[in-house]
Every structure is written in C-alpha cells, then in structure tokens.
Amino acid sequence: DTGVSQDPRHKITKRGQNVTFRCDPISEHNRLYWYRQTLGQGPEFLTYFQNEAQLEKSRLLSDRFSAERPKGSFSTLEIQRTEQGDSAMYLCASSLEGGLNEQFFGPGTRLTVL
C-alpha cells in the first residue's frame, strides 16, 4: 500500500497562467475527493468522483476549475487563468465504498500565485 500521492508538491505560477495537479489514489479505492485548504483554515470540499464519474461539485469550484478522472484511477485538477486567491494547499483523498468511508489523504500540492 503506497498511499495517496500528489504531484507536484509545490507550484509557483504567475497570475493568469494555467496549472494542472495530479492525484494517484490508493489502488483499490474507487472514490476520490479534492479539497482546498487556505492558511489557518480546515480543508474545504471541492469535488468527488466515484470511479470515472464526477458526482458532486462544490460551489467553490468556479468555471476556471476542472477535474477529471478519465479511467477511474488517477485524477487531475486544472485551474485556468489563475488568480492570487487561488493560492492554497490542494489536497486529494481516496476511500473505499462502505464501512467508515475513511478518507486517506495525500501530501497535498501547495500552489502560490504571484
């Protein structure tokens, strides 16, 4: 069990640029979640996949944000035309169906928009 991995760990970009983050969940987990965490706050839910289907999106996910999970394995989160307010830690989590639905988190991608 290699855990949830995220790439890159850190990203610095200029305002207006596009960025893409990748999440590789635990292999047998069919549920995948994206959260955003700003300084001094707890993580906030962004979106949820069950296999390849995106089933839930938060109102926090503006039209500049898009997420995919094309084969039901890894997922990508793209932010277009980044703004300074997008600076945050982006966390990915995965879980199994049933039981506690305990979510296992990755190390996160820290985005800084200059």
Does residue 25 bind other proteins (CB under 8 A)?
A: no
Does residue 108 bind other proteins (CB under 8 A)?
A: yes
Please pick, from the candidates 2, 28, 42, 85, the single residue that binds other proteins as defined by CB under 8 A: 42
CB of 13 to other proteins, least distance (A): 19
Q: What's the rounded Cα separation, in Å, for the pair 80 and 27?
A: 28
Q: Among 6, 2, 5, 3, which residue's Cα sits nearest to residue 109?
A: 6
Does residue 106 bind other proteins (CB under 8 A)?
A: yes
Residues that bind other proteins (CB under 8 A): 31, 33, 35, 40-45, 48, 50, 53, 55-56, 89, 91, 93, 95, 97, 100-108, 110
